[in-house]
Amino acid sequence: MNENIKAIVKYRIEQAEESLRDAQLLVDSGGSFRSIINRSYYVMFYATLALIAAKGTGSSKHSGAISIFDREYVKTNIFPKEMSKVLHKAFNLRQESDYKEFIIITKEEAEKIKKGAEDFLNKIKSHLKSYSDPPTSVEEDSK
């Protein structure tokens, strides 16, 4: 991986980790379920951007990044279909809760998506370690 790509991958992983910390803070403080869904979705979105950047690909649209993830990583069995399902579910819930009226997000939905986001990020980070000279996150650097 060249230095520019490493920097982008590292930056996106840091964004994903920050979003996960934010989601956890919202859970711990009784934040809105809509906000937990939002932050959890962005965990997965930023992790996806890191993953596709590592291969020298990118997308300026959410749907484009998700499509690349599905095509390059799920359909090729690099990642299980469950990862795609949780990403699509979070994307749809985030879209609905941000842009539609009277959408009700339950505590169970918010917690399930947050847990799915955490698992998603861990799997992406694990996969990135298989690349030669993989990027590390700020948290990993400070340990």
Structural domain contains residue 9: yes
| Predicted pLDDT of residue 133 | 58
- Token readout for 73 is 């990583």
Q: Chain-centre distance of CA 74, in angstroms? A: 15
Range of the domain at 96: 3-134
What are the per-10-residue average pLDDT scores of the chain (143 residues)? 90 98 97 97 98 91 97 97 98 94 94 98 96 48 30
CATH of the domain at 88: 1.20.120.330
Structural domain contains residue 37: yes
Structural domain contains residue 38: yes
Structural domain contains residue 143: no
| Predicted pLDDT of residue 45 | 98
Structural domain contains residue 139: no
3-state secondary structure 100-117: CCCCCCCHHHHHHHHHHH
| Predicted pLDDT of residue 25 | 98
Domain total for the chain?
1
Q: Contact 44/19 with Cβ under 8 angstroms?
A: no
pTM metric for this prediction: 0.89
Structural domain contains residue 64: yes
Structural domain contains residue 140: no
